[in-house]
Protein backbone atom coordinates (compact mmCIF):
# COMPACT_ATOMS: atom_id res chain seq x y z
CA UNK A 1 0.00 0.00 0.00
CA UNK A 2 1.32 3.45 -0.95
CA UNK A 3 2.45 5.70 1.88
CA UNK A 4 0.61 8.98 1.23
CA UNK A 5 1.94 10.87 4.28
CA UNK A 6 4.14 13.21 2.24
CA UNK A 7 1.29 13.98 -0.14
CA UNK A 8 -1.07 14.55 2.78
CA UNK A 9 1.37 17.12 4.11
CA UNK A 10 1.60 18.84 0.72
CA UNK A 11 -2.18 19.05 0.53
CA UNK A 12 -2.41 20.28 4.10
CA UNK A 13 0.14 23.03 3.42
CA UNK A 14 -1.87 24.22 0.42
CA UNK A 15 -5.18 24.20 2.29
CA UNK A 16 -3.64 26.29 5.07
CA UNK A 17 -2.13 28.71 2.53
CA UNK A 18 -5.50 29.03 0.79
CA UNK A 19 -7.14 29.68 4.16
CA UNK A 20 -4.72 32.53 4.85
CA UNK A 21 -5.33 34.05 1.40
CA UNK A 22 -9.10 33.84 1.67
CA UNK A 23 -9.22 35.29 5.17
CA UNK A 24 -6.98 38.19 4.14
CA UNK A 25 -9.22 38.88 1.13
CA UNK A 26 -12.38 38.85 3.25
CA UNK A 27 -10.85 41.10 5.91
CA UNK A 28 -9.85 43.53 3.15
CA UNK A 29 -13.50 43.74 2.08
CA UNK A 30 -14.48 44.52 5.67
CA UNK A 31 -11.94 47.35 5.74
CA UNK A 32 -13.42 48.78 2.54
CA UNK A 33 -16.80 48.80 4.27
CA UNK A 34 -15.39 50.68 7.26
CA UNK A 35 -15.29 47.67 9.57
CA UNK A 36 -12.39 46.45 11.70
CA UNK A 37 -13.76 42.89 11.92
CA UNK A 38 -11.15 40.16 11.77
CA UNK A 39 -11.08 36.39 11.98
CA UNK A 40 -10.78 34.77 15.38
CA UNK A 41 -8.98 31.46 15.31
CA UNK A 42 -9.56 28.56 17.67
CA UNK A 43 -7.50 25.39 17.45
CA UNK A 44 -8.85 21.99 18.42
CA UNK A 45 -7.46 18.49 18.84
CA UNK A 46 -9.17 15.20 18.08
CA UNK A 47 -8.77 12.14 20.24
CA UNK A 48 -9.49 8.69 18.89
CA UNK A 49 -11.73 6.24 20.73
CA UNK A 50 -8.68 4.70 22.42
CA UNK A 51 -7.39 8.10 23.54
CA UNK A 52 -4.63 8.36 20.93
CA UNK A 53 -3.77 11.54 19.06
CA UNK A 54 -6.03 11.88 16.03
CA UNK A 55 -4.99 15.22 14.58
CA UNK A 56 -7.07 18.37 14.73
CA UNK A 57 -7.58 21.69 13.08
CA UNK A 58 -8.22 25.41 13.32
CA UNK A 59 -11.63 27.06 13.14
CA UNK A 60 -11.65 30.65 11.95
CA UNK A 61 -14.79 32.77 12.29
CA UNK A 62 -15.46 36.43 11.46
CA UNK A 63 -18.61 38.43 12.10
CA UNK A 64 -18.51 41.79 10.41
CA UNK A 65 -20.39 44.45 8.51
CA UNK A 66 -20.36 42.65 5.15
CA UNK A 67 -19.86 39.07 6.32
CA UNK A 68 -22.59 38.53 8.89
CA UNK A 69 -20.88 35.23 9.67
CA UNK A 70 -18.11 33.47 7.78
CA UNK A 71 -16.27 30.37 8.92
CA UNK A 72 -13.11 28.95 7.39
CA UNK A 73 -11.96 25.61 8.78
CA UNK A 74 -8.80 23.64 8.10
CA UNK A 75 -8.26 20.22 9.62
CA UNK A 76 -6.08 17.16 9.33
CA UNK A 77 -7.37 14.09 11.15
CA UNK A 78 -6.71 10.36 11.21
CA UNK A 79 -8.02 7.25 12.90
CA UNK A 80 -10.48 4.45 12.28
CA UNK A 81 -14.03 4.74 11.04
CA UNK A 82 -16.75 3.43 13.32
CA UNK A 83 -18.16 -0.01 12.47
CA UNK A 84 -20.84 0.29 9.80
CA UNK A 85 -19.78 3.78 8.72
CA UNK A 86 -16.56 2.41 7.18
CA UNK A 87 -18.59 0.62 4.54
CA UNK A 88 -19.94 3.94 3.27
CA UNK A 89 -16.47 5.40 2.60
CA UNK A 90 -14.46 4.86 -0.58
CA UNK A 91 -11.70 2.29 0.08
CA UNK A 92 -12.64 1.62 3.70
CA UNK A 93 -14.14 -1.51 5.21
CA UNK A 94 -14.69 -3.25 8.51
CA UNK A 95 -11.35 -5.01 8.01
CA UNK A 96 -9.56 -1.82 6.94
CA UNK A 97 -11.22 1.12 8.70
CA UNK A 98 -8.21 3.44 8.91
CA UNK A 99 -8.19 6.88 7.28
CA UNK A 100 -6.47 10.23 7.06
CA UNK A 101 -8.23 13.37 5.85
CA UNK A 102 -7.04 16.91 5.33
CA UNK A 103 -9.07 19.77 3.93
CA UNK A 104 -10.47 23.27 3.98
CA UNK A 105 -14.15 24.11 4.37
CA UNK A 106 -15.75 27.53 4.08
CA UNK A 107 -19.27 28.91 4.45
CA UNK A 108 -20.13 32.63 4.29
CA UNK A 109 -23.50 34.12 5.26
CA UNK A 110 -23.75 37.74 4.21
CA UNK A 111 -25.38 40.71 5.92
CA UNK A 112 -26.86 42.13 2.71
CA UNK A 113 -29.45 39.82 1.11
CA UNK A 114 -28.29 40.97 -2.33
CA UNK A 115 -24.90 39.35 -1.67
CA UNK A 116 -25.02 35.58 -2.15
CA UNK A 117 -24.02 33.14 0.54
CA UNK A 118 -21.36 30.71 -0.59
CA UNK A 119 -19.86 27.33 0.27
CA UNK A 120 -16.47 25.96 -0.77
CA UNK A 121 -14.40 22.99 0.29
CA UNK A 122 -11.54 20.88 -1.01
CA UNK A 123 -10.05 17.82 0.64
CA UNK A 124 -7.64 14.89 0.28
CA UNK A 125 -8.51 11.55 1.88
CA UNK A 126 -6.72 8.25 2.15
CA UNK A 127 -8.05 4.84 3.13
CA UNK A 128 -6.87 1.85 1.13
CA UNK A 129 -7.33 4.35 -1.71
CA UNK A 130 -6.44 8.03 -2.03
CA UNK A 131 -8.55 10.74 -3.63
CA UNK A 132 -9.45 14.41 -3.84
CA UNK A 133 -12.90 15.92 -3.58
CA UNK A 134 -14.46 19.32 -3.25
CA UNK A 135 -16.18 22.12 -5.08
CA UNK A 136 -18.05 25.35 -4.52
CA UNK A 137 -21.65 26.50 -4.89
CA UNK A 138 -23.36 29.88 -4.83
CA UNK A 139 -26.45 30.37 -2.66
CA UNK A 140 -28.15 33.72 -3.34
CA UNK A 141 -31.37 34.67 -1.56
CA UNK A 142 -31.90 37.12 -4.43
CA UNK A 143 -30.33 35.60 -7.58
CA UNK A 144 -28.65 37.77 -10.21
CA UNK A 145 -27.89 36.21 -13.58
CA UNK A 146 -24.67 38.23 -13.84
CA UNK A 147 -23.35 36.79 -10.58
CA UNK A 148 -24.37 33.25 -11.47
CA UNK A 149 -22.69 33.44 -14.87
CA UNK A 150 -19.49 34.91 -13.44
CA UNK A 151 -19.29 32.26 -10.73
CA UNK A 152 -19.80 29.42 -13.18
CA UNK A 153 -17.38 30.92 -15.71
CA UNK A 154 -14.60 30.92 -13.11
CA UNK A 155 -15.04 27.22 -12.38
CA UNK A 156 -15.57 26.36 -16.02
CA UNK A 157 -12.16 27.87 -16.75
CA UNK A 158 -10.58 25.98 -13.85
CA UNK A 159 -12.03 22.71 -15.13
CA UNK A 160 -11.16 23.28 -18.79
CA UNK A 161 -7.52 23.77 -17.86
CA UNK A 162 -7.41 20.09 -16.83
CA UNK A 163 -10.09 18.06 -18.59
CA UNK A 164 -12.71 19.21 -21.12
CA UNK A 165 -15.31 16.90 -19.57
CA UNK A 166 -14.91 18.12 -16.00
CA UNK A 167 -17.12 21.19 -15.98
CA UNK A 168 -20.32 19.65 -17.34
CA UNK A 169 -19.81 16.53 -15.24
CA UNK A 170 -19.08 18.39 -12.01
CA UNK A 171 -21.71 21.08 -12.63
CA UNK A 172 -24.38 18.39 -12.98
CA UNK A 173 -23.04 16.64 -9.88
CA UNK A 174 -23.45 19.91 -7.95
CA UNK A 175 -26.99 20.38 -9.27
CA UNK A 176 -27.91 16.85 -8.22
CA UNK A 177 -26.11 16.97 -4.87
CA UNK A 178 -27.18 20.43 -3.66
CA UNK A 179 -30.87 19.62 -3.98
CA UNK A 180 -33.38 19.41 -1.13
CA UNK A 181 -35.64 16.44 -1.93
CA UNK A 182 -38.25 17.13 0.74
CA UNK A 183 -38.65 20.70 -0.56
CA UNK A 184 -38.22 19.85 -4.23
CA UNK A 185 -35.88 22.82 -4.71
CA UNK A 186 -32.20 23.45 -5.31
CA UNK A 187 -30.17 24.91 -2.44
CA UNK A 188 -28.80 27.63 -4.71
CA UNK A 189 -27.66 28.27 -8.29
CA UNK A 190 -25.01 25.57 -8.33
CA UNK A 191 -21.33 25.48 -9.08
CA UNK A 192 -19.20 22.33 -9.20
CA UNK A 193 -18.93 19.28 -6.98
CA UNK A 194 -16.52 16.38 -7.34
CA UNK A 195 -15.50 13.41 -5.23
CA UNK A 196 -13.40 10.24 -5.46
CA UNK A 197 -10.93 11.83 -7.91
CA UNK A 198 -8.65 8.90 -7.26
CA UNK A 199 -4.86 8.84 -7.14
CA UNK A 200 -3.58 5.43 -8.16
CA UNK A 201 -0.01 6.72 -8.31
CA UNK A 202 2.05 9.86 -7.72
CA UNK A 203 1.48 11.15 -11.25
CA UNK A 204 -2.28 11.07 -10.71
CA UNK A 205 -1.82 12.76 -7.35
CA UNK A 206 0.04 15.63 -9.00
CA UNK A 207 -2.65 16.06 -11.68
CA UNK A 208 -5.54 15.94 -9.25
CA UNK A 209 -3.75 18.15 -6.74
CA UNK A 210 -3.12 20.75 -9.46
CA UNK A 211 -6.81 20.71 -10.34
CA UNK A 212 -7.83 21.04 -6.70
CA UNK A 213 -5.49 24.01 -6.25
CA UNK A 214 -7.09 25.67 -9.30
CA UNK A 215 -10.54 25.14 -7.81
CA UNK A 216 -9.44 26.97 -4.66
CA UNK A 217 -7.79 29.75 -6.65
CA UNK A 218 -10.89 30.19 -8.81
CA UNK A 219 -12.99 30.70 -5.71
CA UNK A 220 -10.50 33.18 -4.26
CA UNK A 221 -10.62 35.17 -7.50
CA UNK A 222 -14.34 35.23 -8.23
CA UNK A 223 -16.24 35.47 -4.96
CA UNK A 224 -14.73 38.75 -3.69
CA UNK A 225 -15.67 40.35 -7.03
CA UNK A 226 -19.30 39.34 -6.57
CA UNK A 227 -19.30 40.57 -2.96
CA UNK A 228 -17.94 43.98 -3.95
CA UNK A 229 -20.55 44.33 -6.70
CA UNK A 230 -23.50 43.80 -4.31
CA UNK A 231 -22.42 44.75 -0.80
CA UNK A 232 -23.43 48.42 -1.10
CA UNK A 233 -26.92 47.84 -2.48
CA UNK A 234 -29.86 49.07 -0.46
CA UNK A 235 -32.25 46.42 0.81
CA UNK A 236 -35.67 46.42 2.42
CA UNK A 237 -36.86 44.75 5.63
CA UNK A 238 -38.90 42.43 3.44
CA UNK A 239 -35.78 41.35 1.54
CA UNK A 240 -33.94 40.72 4.82
CA UNK A 241 -36.86 38.65 6.07
CA UNK A 242 -36.85 36.64 2.85
CA UNK A 243 -33.12 36.02 3.30
CA UNK A 244 -33.67 34.62 6.78
CA UNK A 245 -36.40 32.29 5.55
CA UNK A 246 -34.22 31.17 2.62
CA UNK A 247 -31.46 30.36 5.11
CA UNK A 248 -33.79 27.79 6.61
CA UNK A 249 -33.43 25.76 3.42
CA UNK A 250 -29.66 25.93 3.80
CA UNK A 251 -29.90 24.65 7.37
CA UNK A 252 -32.19 21.80 6.36
CA UNK A 253 -29.78 20.61 3.66
CA UNK A 254 -26.72 20.77 5.87
CA UNK A 255 -28.30 18.92 8.77
CA UNK A 256 -30.18 16.29 6.77
CA UNK A 257 -28.17 15.58 3.61
CA UNK A 258 -24.67 17.04 3.69
CA UNK A 259 -21.89 14.42 3.54
CA UNK A 260 -19.34 16.68 5.17
CA UNK A 261 -21.54 17.20 8.22
CA UNK A 262 -22.06 13.45 8.56
CA UNK A 263 -18.35 12.72 8.07
CA UNK A 264 -17.37 15.19 10.78
CA UNK A 265 -19.91 13.88 13.27
CA UNK A 266 -19.04 10.25 12.59
CA UNK A 267 -15.28 10.79 12.95
CA UNK A 268 -15.26 12.73 16.22
CA UNK A 269 -14.68 16.15 14.69
CA UNK A 270 -15.04 19.45 16.50
CA UNK A 271 -18.76 20.17 16.83
CA UNK A 272 -18.40 23.95 16.54
CA UNK A 273 -16.28 23.57 13.41
CA UNK A 274 -18.72 21.10 11.86
CA UNK A 275 -21.75 23.30 12.54
CA UNK A 276 -20.10 26.64 11.70
CA UNK A 277 -21.98 26.37 8.38
CA UNK A 278 -25.22 27.29 10.15
CA UNK A 279 -26.32 30.93 9.73
CA UNK A 280 -26.44 33.35 12.68
CA UNK A 281 -30.13 34.20 12.19
CA UNK A 282 -32.77 32.14 10.43
CA UNK A 283 -36.56 31.85 10.35
CA UNK A 284 -39.08 29.32 9.18
CA UNK A 285 -42.55 30.36 8.05
Q: Residues with catalytic annotation?
A: 119
φ and ψ of 57, to 5 deg: -170, -170
Nearest to 103 by CA among 121, 115, 81, 118: 121
For residue 42, list its beta bridge partners.
59
CA distance readout (Å), 79 to 10, 96, 174, 268, 271: 19, 11, 29, 10, 17
What is the dihedral angle through the alpha carbons of 48, 49, 51, 53, rounded to the nearest 10 degrees?
-10
Q: Residue 87 CA to chain centroid, in angstroms?
A: 24
For residue 178, list its beta bridge partners.
none
> Which pairs from 259-264 meet CB under 8 Å and 24+ separation?
260/105, 260/121, 263/101
Q: Residue 58 CA to chain centroid, in angstroms?
A: 14
Q: Helices 145-160 and 166-177 sit at what angle, rounded to 10 degrees?
A: 130
- Positive or negative, the CA dihedral 249, 255, 93, 1 is positive
Helix, strand, coil shares of the chain as percentages rounded to 5? 45, 25, 30
Amino acid sequence: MTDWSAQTQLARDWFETLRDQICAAFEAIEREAGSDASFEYISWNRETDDGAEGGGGVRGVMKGKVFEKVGVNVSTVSGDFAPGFAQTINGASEDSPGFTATGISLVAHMANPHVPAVHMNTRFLTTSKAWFGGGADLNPPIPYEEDTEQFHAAFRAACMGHNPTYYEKFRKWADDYFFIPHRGVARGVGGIFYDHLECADLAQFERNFAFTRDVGSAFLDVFPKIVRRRMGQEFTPEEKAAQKEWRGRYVEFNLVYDRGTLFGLKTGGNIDAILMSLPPEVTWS
